[in-house]
Amino acid sequence: MAELQQNFTVTIHGGLHARPASELVGIAKSFHSKIEILRDGKVANAKSPVKILLLGVREGDSITVMIDGDDAADAMARVSTFFEAGDNENTPPAAEGGAAAKPTAPITIEAAKAATPTHGIGASEGAAEGVAYHFFQSPLPDPSSLPALEVKGNSKEQELARYRNALARSSDEINARAKDDDPTGAEIVAALSEIAGDEEWQEQVTAHIRAGACALKAVLISGEETARSVEALDDPYARARAEDIRAVMRIIAFTLMGKELPSLDRVPYGAIVVAEEITALDLSTADLSRIGGLLCQKGASTSHAAIVSRAHGIPAVFGFEVSAAKLQRVSYVALDGSSGEVVLDPSEEVIARYRASIDAERQIAKQRLAFKEVQPVTKDGREITIAANIGSLGEIKAAKENGAMGVGLFRTELLFMDRRELPTEDEQLAIYEVALRAFEGQDVIIRTLDIGGDKPLRGVEFPAEENPFLGWRGIRMCLDTPSIFKPQLRALLRAAPAGKLKVMLPMVSDIEEVRATKQLIDECIMELDAEGKPYARFDLGIMVETPAAVLAAELFAKEVAFFSIGTNDLTQYVMAADRMNPTVAKLYKTDNAAVLNAVSLVCLAAQSAGIWVGVCGEAAANPDLARKFIERGVTELSMSPASILRAKQVVCEL
């Protein structure tokens, strides 16, 4: 049982007149809890439309909502949404007679329609339509709204026992989230579990209970105090733990309230998950095969959740800027993860259009399955490798199901960014070995850490930069930070015996960067020899993604084993057009003659030195561009797993 109360200022046009009053009553009746509205000393039962009307709540009035019952927190969240949405989200009162009043409703409806965007960011290709599955985190009760319980004598002991019991169940709940095949998720889980077991925090909660607070209030107050004191620290790594403390506090609070945490493990088959935000951790508890699509208010196409959805072929639109209140009212969604189009509560015609395009996509996908085992060769006899871009071990399955002929780009930064602490050498070794063994007999190209500027790393202080894309990132940052770079190189050397490992360096612009890396590798080898640890050497290549690497390709080709062209960055640097800036998107074109000439220069330099060239930027998955790259001499294309079968077909038809 929980008792909550919260104050609101009514912003609904005309106050709680018949229509909003009946909406509020409808909301109140959908919960078991007792819900009352207090205004000017008068109280009304929110489940009674008459009582609410008699209360005479006007626009601008201050009211207090009091809720008591086992679903009080959910009810308060829903009631808050109702009041906070105010006039924007609630239909104004019908005008009282007279032609002059008539335009009010249609104008408002049109304005509301105009305010709803039609597109978000296409984060994972494909069309989807289905019922909306709402995945919203309910707000926690405000501790000051919890009544001061007079917990005395035995009841204090009971309250302490309730807390200890909730803590134990929360720890089990946290640990149950770890999945054996997902080391990244497991690491996050371990960090949360550690926080739940923090003795100092437990002592604080106990002290609050002994001082007379109920267990829920004690957990909320001490959790927030601990999170705030950690936030005040200088160290960015320590600061990031405040977020973990709040996550654990939420789990314990939900357990105390007898409520289940929202989870994605029971999504109805084919439903579209609608959320404010979805994290990779949320997806880690989901049965992804049940999810028809994802629609999120926040997020970008480069987020880890987007990468996971692409890897599993789940259509997704992120960054769809509609209020959470509005998203919570949606019951059906159609979306297109390629164009970013979203239709909320679509008409029958729109649903029919979407179903037709989903059927067409399925037909094509079925036909393409025939290419899964194909080793693509162009009609003039050139063998082309179609490999996968991955960012975690969780994506290996999708890569293999789609016929990947190895890994052309393993972005290791996700291993570093998603964790609470930098991964140790041994942890990295274990991850690289799993990837190498999964692609036995096929090349696995692991890229060393490409981080910095726009992609900060927990525990590493980055300077503020005016132009992060021209700043301290990739190989520049790694060479300046051997404490991070060397464990990665050592882990790679130690993993090499497990398969056909190749390693490449990101953001290279000067041959000295390659030479310095080779020197570090030699140092690591000497250390491993001295420690008696087994290892093997690997081919070292570079990403060609800066104009400097293109213009000095002949020089680089003499000192590295292969080139992999990163068209995402190469396009932005050749065209001087930020890859994230939509205002210059018309210049950010990989098919511009300048970028294609750069690709030609790289291929010519590679041919004369006898090394091979691949492309691992997004453009590799574009059929027209793939043809242009192959014409110029590229022999490997690496892309998201979902694009591999199409690419194999394209090559065979060249």
Strands in 42-45's sheet, in edge-to-edge order, are 2-9, 62-69, 34-39, 42-45
Per rule CB under 6 A, is residue 450 in the interface with ligand PEP? yes
Euclidean distance between CA atoms 130 and 332, whole angstroms = 6
Closest chain position to Mg ion (CB):
569
Hey, what are 623's tokens? 């059929």
Per rule CB under 5 A, is residue 340 in the interface with Mg ion? no
| Position among 20, 408, 566, 641 found at the interface with Mg ion (CB under 5 A) | 566
Q: Which is nearer to Mg ion, 395 or 545 (CB)?
A: 545
Residues from 519 through 548 that contact Mg ion (CB under 5 A): 545
Per rule CB under 6 A, is residue 182 in the interface with ligand PEP? no
Per rule CB under 6 A, is residue 616 in the interface with ligand PEP? yes
| Position among 223, 315, 337, 617 found at the interface with ligand PEP (CB under 6 A) | 617
Distance of CA 317 to the CA centre of its chain: 12
Residues from 211 through 270 that contact Mg ion (CB under 5 A): none
Q: Which is nearer to Mg ion, 403 or 566 (CB)?
A: 566
Of the candidates 423, 1, 448, which has an alpha carbon nearest to the alpha carbon of residue 216? Answer: 1
Which residues touch 18 (CB under 8 Å, ≥6 apart)?
Answer: 49, 53, 93
Kindly state the smallest distance separating residue 389's Cβ from ligand PEP, in Å. 7
For the chain, the distance separating the N- and C-terminal CA atoms, rounded to the nearest angstrom, is: 68
* Beta strands 42-45 and 271-275, pairing class: unpaired
Can you list the positions of beta strands (E) in 23-126?
34-39, 42-45, 62-69, 121-124
| Position among 36, 173, 413, 569 found at the interface with Mg ion (CB under 5 A) | 569
Q: Which is nearer to ligand PEP, 315 or 506 (CB)?
A: 506
Euclidean distance between CA atoms 303 and 43, whole angstroms = 48
Among the options 304, 312, 478, 524, which is catalytic? 304
Segment interacting with ligand PEP (CB under 6 A) among 52-60, 254-262, 451-459, 563-571 = 563-571
Segment interacting with ligand PEP (CB under 6 A) among 38-46, 184-192, 306-314, 560-568 = 560-568
Per rule CB under 6 A, is residue 636 in the interface with ligand PEP? no
Euclidean distance between CA atoms 642 and 450, whole angstroms = 23
Kindly state the smallest distance separating residue 617's Cβ from ligand PEP, in Å. 3
CB 562 within 8 A of CB 539: yes
Q: Which is nearer to ligand PEP, 568 or 600 (CB)?
A: 568
Count of CA atoms in the C-beta half-sphere (13 A) of 87 = 15
Kindly state the smallest distance separating residue 228's Cβ from Mg ion, in Å. 38
Segment interacting with Mg ion (CB under 5 A) among 520-528, 560-568, 606-614, 632-640 = 560-568
Segment interacting with ligand PEP (CB under 6 A) among 196-204, 393-401, 566-574, 625-633 = 566-574
Q: Which is nearer to ligand PEP, 192 or 621 (CB)?
A: 621
Q: Which is nearer to ligand PEP, 211 or 580 (CB)?
A: 580
Over its C-alpha atoms, the chain yields an Rg (Å, rounded) of: 29
Cβ atoms < 10 Å from Cβ of 647 = 25
Q: Which is nearer to ligand PEP, 154 or 467 (CB)?
A: 467
Of the candidates 612, 578, 571, 608, which has an alpha carbon nearest to the alpha carbon of residue 593? Answer: 571
Euclidean distance between CA atoms 589 and 582, whole angstroms = 12
Residue 617 binds which of Mg ion, ligand PEP, none (CB < 5-8 A, kind-dependent): ligand PEP
| Position among 569, 595, 626, 641 found at the interface with ligand PEP (CB under 6 A) | 569
Per rule CB under 6 A, is residue 395 in the interface with ligand PEP? no
What counts of helices (H) and strands (E) characterise the chain? 25, 19
In degrees and rounded to multiples of 5, residue 32 shows phi and psi of -75, -30
Please tell me the count of residues contacting ligand PEP according to CB under 6 A.
10
Q: Which is nearer to Mg ion, 6 or 571 (CB)?
A: 571
Q: Which is nearer to ligand PEP, 63 or 642 (CB)?
A: 642
Residue at token pair 């997004």: 618
Residue 386 binds which of ligand PEP, Mg ion, none (CB < 5-8 A, kind-dependent): none
Residues pairing with 44 in the sheet: 37
* Dihedral angle computed from the Cα positions of residues 413, 414, 415 and 419, in that order, rounded to the nearest 10 degrees: 110
CB 562 within 8 A of CB 614: yes
Kindly state the smallest distance separating residue 596's Cβ from Mg ion, in Å. 18
Task: Give the CA diameter of the chain.
Answer: 93
| Position among 47, 208, 241, 411 found at the interface with ligand PEP (CB under 6 A) | 411
Residue 36 binds which of Mg ion, ligand PEP, none (CB < 5-8 A, kind-dependent): none
Residues from 514 through 533 that contact ligand PEP (CB under 6 A): none
Which residues touch 308 (CB under 8 Å, ≥6 apart)?
Answer: 280, 283, 288, 392, 394, 395
Kindly state the smallest distance separating residue 619's Cβ from ligand PEP, in Å. 8
Per rule CB under 6 A, is residue 545 in the interface with ligand PEP? yes
Euclidean distance between CA atoms 601 and 605, whole angstroms = 6
Catalytic annotation present for 312: no
Kindly state the smallest distance separating residue 159's Cβ from ligand PEP, in Å. 51
Per rule CB under 6 A, is residue 567 in the interface with ligand PEP? yes
Catalytic annotation present for 13: no
Kindly state the smallest distance separating residue 598's Cβ from Mg ion, in Å. 14
Per rule CB under 6 A, is residue 11 in the interface with ligand PEP? no
Of the candidates 443, 445, 463, 446, which has an alpha carbon nearest to the alpha carbon of residue 454? Answer: 463
Kindly state the smallest distance separating residue 73's Cβ from Mg ion, in Å. 44
334: helix, strand or coil: strand
Q: Which is nearer to Mg ion, 319 or 566 (CB)?
A: 566
Kindly state the smallest distance separating residue 199's Cβ from ligand PEP, in Å. 41
Helix orientation angle between 18-29 and 72-89, rounded to the nearest 10 degrees: 160
Q: What is the DSSP string of 486-511?
A: HHHHHHHHHHGGGSEEEEEESS---H
* Beta strands 316-318 and 121-124, pairing class: antiparallel
Which residues touch 287 (CB under 8 Å, ≥6 apart)?
Answer: 264, 265, 267
Residue 567 binds which of Mg ion, ligand PEP, none (CB < 5-8 A, kind-dependent): ligand PEP
Kindly state the smallest distance separating residue 390's Cβ from ligand PEP, in Å. 12
* Beta strands 34-39 and 2-9, pairing class: unpaired
- Contact residues for Mg ion (CB under 5 A)? 545, 566, 569
Return the active site residues. Answer: 304, 616
- Contact residues for ligand PEP (CB under 6 A)? 409, 411, 450, 545, 566-569, 616-617
